[in-house]
Amino acid sequence: MWFFTDEHKLVRQSTEEFAQSVLAPKIDHLDETEGFDRDYFRQMAELGLLGITVPEEYGGTDMGCVAATITMEELGAVDASTALSYLAHTILFVNNLATNGSDAQKKRYLPKSISGEWIGGMAMTEPGAGSDALAMRANAVRRGDRYILNGTKMFITNAVMGDVFYVYARTGEGKKDISTFIVEKDFPGFRMGRKLKKMGMRASPTGELIFENCEVPAENLVGREGDSLKHMLKNLDIERITISGISLGIARASVQAAVKYAKERTQFGKPIAEFQMIQRMIVDGLAAYEASAAYVYNAAKMWDEGRLDARGSRGLGAKVKLVSARMATKVALDAIQVLGGYGYTKEFPVERYMRDAKLMEIGAGTNEMLRVIVARELFGD
């Protein structure tokens, strides 16, 4: 983008080098085995990526939403699974805590999270509460110097192997009486549930978290009781902008794979790149990627400049995610079509790109829910 600073360019270069040298050699194996390499986070910490939106006083690099989105794109272009786990850790846990936590909470949890010693996640979705987040049933009741937390969270990225989670739970009878708690994996009454088998993003663990009379110290309440809805909505905004970077990475990699194959593959005596139908799919994909990139990074820059109020950011975050997610799935599907039979096999990465891209139309707000958000703002609801 024209407004990228030298710092942004350095983040792109260092992340790209890390993705190509460290992630690329292992992703096919990890995707096939549904494995996870925890050491990736320690290496990303050395690059200053785990605290990318956190003020320097807490050990972060304070580079903002644009830099975080750049990182998502470069990781997503090689290994979208690691990009997703990185998002859950860096945006859903670390950024949430750095934005809303007390000074004591930040000093306790941010150093371990930014160094890669601990991996975090965020727990909002439940078996019966997805798009309708306010229908959550997990609840917490204060008893003396602790809260007793009960409930189950589902589809949680970094479950199974996470060390600490930013957990939303109900603390009152009102629909909006939602509070947030920092829960460590060793707290009494907290356990990891089953790991889910998935179509895509297979090298990013997803599962359930179970709280059965889980004892949470009162000092691990984030903010005040019943005050978390606005925090939840604001962090969803930056999540939707930055996660769009993963869609950009997948689309860019899909176009590059299609171009390379089309130049090498010959049929009827000439490279298939010379056939107009092939050219159309690839060129349309490239144009869609570049248009989406301009939209996403403009939103990220507006976020960094503070030019989005809470309501406006919800609409823009929803729109850029909707556009980029649909684009990535279409571009990845067309790349498979360009590669033909080979594209449908695991000998080439485009089938993985398509499987990974589809999650972008579901996680952090389904396409359908994002349309509802935009429609409400459009029609003045």
Residues with catalytic annotation? Answer: 239
Residue 332 near residue 77 (C-beta atoms within 8 A): no
CA nearest 259: which of 249, 247, 269, 273?
273
